[in-house]
Amino acid sequence: MKKIINVTRSSMPTYKEYCKEIKELWKTHWLTNMGVKHEHFQKELKKFCKVPHIALYTNGHLALENIITAMNLKKDGEIITTPFTFVSTTHAIVRTGFKPVFCDINDKDYTIDVTKIEKLITKKTVAIVPVHVYGNICNIEAINKIAKKYKLKVIYDAAHTFGETYKGISPANFGDASIFSFHATKVFNTIEGGAICFSDNKLVQILNDMKDFGFRDAENVAYIGGNAKMNEFQAAMGICNLKTIKQEIQKRKKVYEHYKKRLQNTKGIKFCKKQKNVKYNYSYLPIMFDNYKYTRDEIFEKLKSQNIMARKYFYPLTSNFECYKNLPTIKKYKTPVAKYISERILTLPLYADLSIKDVDRICDIILK
């Protein structure tokens, strides 16, 4: 049986290097609650992203939930977002008490279609949560303009963008806040982990409270917070992986370009349109089968039979998941472009150490 190739494979430091990083924890016995590794990692990340503030989290999802809550938006408000994303984006909106309003995506880079946002704004709209899907940066200029005009908050789900720049700036700096995910399957990982990046000084205390039960000090709980802190082992993994992120991205780029060379001139196979001002992290390799000789599902099954695990990211749309699809408030939003793309898209294996030989094998199967 052929070896299994998964859609991704977590980047890791050497065993020795990680052990060196965590060694002092055996002296301090301080394993979580904002210890030395947490402090160190936070400082390094701030430098890396050139962003005023970063709050570290145990995962990206709780980071998103917490920042939505921290914005102090009007209760029961509507939040404009897209359904072509990982389900976390929609869940975070609903779980914090807001109503998702689904805007369609554009067919070039699959981010929110900015020409369709204004039509969806009502008296109840409080925020926009756009997704930089596959590392494609949303039209931030247009979104800013709309947000300003209607006094809406903008929180970017930037989970796919770590290590990128747009016009030389890290996506950590866009909107009122942005979240990253450092999950094991992402370009940069802290095993599990996440972060909120923001510039408003007032949010520092609120977010610190929210992720640590609301504790200001041992006898003062100022806020009804939960628990979403990043622990020392996660932070140590982050410190190690941050040292090699640039090389990892370079390696991914090579893999990406080989796929592109092999597949881009095939009729019926479509790559995402590359954005001009973006330095990519090559986090995903989505290709669309649009009038190709085989359907997306046929290709998916064929690859699977050869132990190659591609993923149908993002299918179904979040609005079509069991828990959402029959809600009358969600049913009424039509997103035909997102639907069309989600039925044809396939995300192929892509990671730093994927060999060119394996890429060739995958491409051969697709082309034959």
Ligand X SMILES: *Cc1c(COP(=O)(O)O)cnc(C)c1O
Quote the least distance from Cβ 289 to ligand X, whole Å. Answer: 22
Taking CB under 6 A as the criterion, the residue among 60, 77, 100, 175 binding ligand X is 60
Nearer to ligand X, 125 or 234 (CB): 234
Alpha carbon distance 234, 58 (integer Å):
8
Going by the DSSP 8-state scheme, the letter that residue 45 receives in this structure is H
Residue closer to ligand X, measured from CB, 133 or 152: 133
| Residue 59 is a binding residue for ligand X (CB under 6 A) | yes
> Which of the ranges 34-42, 84-92, 115-123, 142-150 carries the binding residues for ligand X, by CB under 6 A?
84-92
User: Strands, E, within the chain: which ranges?
Assistant: 53-57, 78-81, 99-102, 125-129, 153-157, 165-166, 177-181, 194-198, 215-217, 220-221, 269-271, 278-279, 285-289, 345-348
Residue of 159, 196, 228, 366 interacting with ligand X (CB under 6 A): 159
According to the binding rule CB under 6 A, does residue 90 interact with ligand X?
no
Restricting to residues 219-238, name those near ligand X by CB under 6 A.
none
Rule CB under 6 A: is residue 109 a binding residue for ligand X? no
Q: Which residue is nearest to ligand X (CB)?
A: 60
Does position 288 bind ligand X by CB under 6 A?
no
As measured in angstroms, the least distance from the Cβ of 84 to ligand X is 10
Pairing of strands 220-221, 165-166: unpaired
Site for ligand X in 124-143 (CB under 6 A): 131
Chain centre to alpha carbon of residue 229:
19
In 147-244, where do the E strands start and end?
Answer: 153-157, 165-166, 177-181, 194-198, 215-217, 220-221
Does residue 8 belong to the site contacting ligand X (CB under 6 A)?
A: no
Q: Which stretch binds ligand X (CB under 6 A): 38-46, 70-78, 83-91, 244-252?
A: 83-91
Contact flag: residue 181 with ligand X (CB under 6 A): yes
58 binding ligand X? (CB under 6 A) = no
Report whether 158 contacts 172 (CB < 8 A).
yes
- Are the C-beta atoms of 238 and 45 separated by less than 8 Å? yes
Contact 80, 125 (CB under 8 A): yes
Contact 143, 130 (CB under 8 A): yes
| Residues within the interface to ligand X (CB under 6 A) | 59-61, 85-86, 88-89, 131, 157, 159-160, 181, 183, 194
